[in-house]
Amino acid sequence: MIKEKADHPIAVTRSSLPPLEEYVEMLKPLWESAWLTNMGEYHREFAELLKQYLQTPNLELFVNGHMALELTLQAMGLHGEVITTPFSFASTTHAIVRNGLTPVFCDINPVDYTLDVDRLEALVTERTAAIVPVHVYGNICDMDRIGEIANRHHLKVIYDAAHTFGETYDGRGIGQYGDASMFSFHATKVFHSIEGGAVAFQDEGLAGVLYELKNFGITGYESVDSVGANGKMNEFQAAMGILNLRRVDEDIDRRRALAMRYRERLAGTEGIRLCPENPRVRYNYAYMPVVFDGYRKDRDQIFSELADADIHARKYFYPCINDFKCYRDRYHAEDTPVASRISRQVLTLPLYAQLEPEIVDLICDIILR
Instruction: Give the domain CATH number at 67.
Output: 3.40.640.10
168-169 and 281-282 beta bridge pairing = antiparallel
Whether residues 196 and 289 share a domain: the answer is no
Does a structural domain hold residue 12?
A: no
Residue at a domain's end among 190, 224, 245? 245
Say whether both 308 and 345 belong to one domain.
yes
Look at residue 81 and tell me if it is in a domain. yes
348 and 212 in a common domain:
no
- pLDDT tens track for 215-263: 999 999 899 999 999 999 999 999 999 999 999 999 999 999 999 999 9
254 and 231 within one domain: no
- Are both 204 and 141 inside the same structural domain? yes
In a domain, 15, yes or no: no
Query: Is position 108 within any domain?
Result: yes
- The structural domain count of the chain equals 2
| 316: containing domain | 248-368
What is the CATH classification number for the domain harbouring 286?
3.90.1150.10
- Write down the pLDDT at residue 2: 59
Tens-place pLDDT, residues 119-142: 999 999 999 999 999 999 999 999
Give the Å distances, CA to CA, from 255 to 144, 170, 205.
Answer: 28, 21, 37
Same domain, 133 and 267: no
- Does any domain span residue 14? no
With respect to residue 2, please indicate whether it lies within any of the assigned structural domains. Answer: no
- Tens of pLDDT along the chain (369 residues) come to 457 788 899 999 999 999 999 999 999 999 999 999 999 999 999 999 999 999 999 999 999 999 999 999 999 999 999 999 999 999 999 999 999 999 999 999 999 999 999 999 999 999 999 999 999 999 999 999 999 999 999 999 999 999 999 999 999 999 999 999 999 999 999 999 999 999 999 999 999 999 999 999 999 989 999 999 999 999 999 999 999 999 999 999 999 999 999 999 999 999 999 999 999 999 999 999 999 999 999 999 999 999 999 999 999 999 999 999 999 999 999 999 999 999 999 999 999 999 999 999 999 999 999
Cα distances from 65 to residues 160, 232, 312, in angstroms, run 9, 11, 25
Of 264, 258, 275, residue with least CA distance to 352: 258
Residue where a domain terminates, one of 223, 245, 267: 245
Per-residue pLDDT at 4 = 79
Whether residue 8 is contained in a domain is answered as no
- Same domain flag for 228 and 252: no
Shared-domain flag, residues 239 and 157: yes
- Domain identity same for 70 and 92: yes
Q: How far apart are CA 15 and CA 197, in angstroms?
A: 16
Q: How far is CA 65 from the centre of its chain?
A: 8
Both 289 and 233 in a single domain?
Answer: no
* Residue 5: inside a domain: no
Looking at the structure, tell me whether residues 32 and 179 fall in a common domain: yes
Q: Are both 86 and 235 inside the same structural domain?
A: yes
Of the three residues 212, 230, 245, the one that is the final residue of a domain is: 245
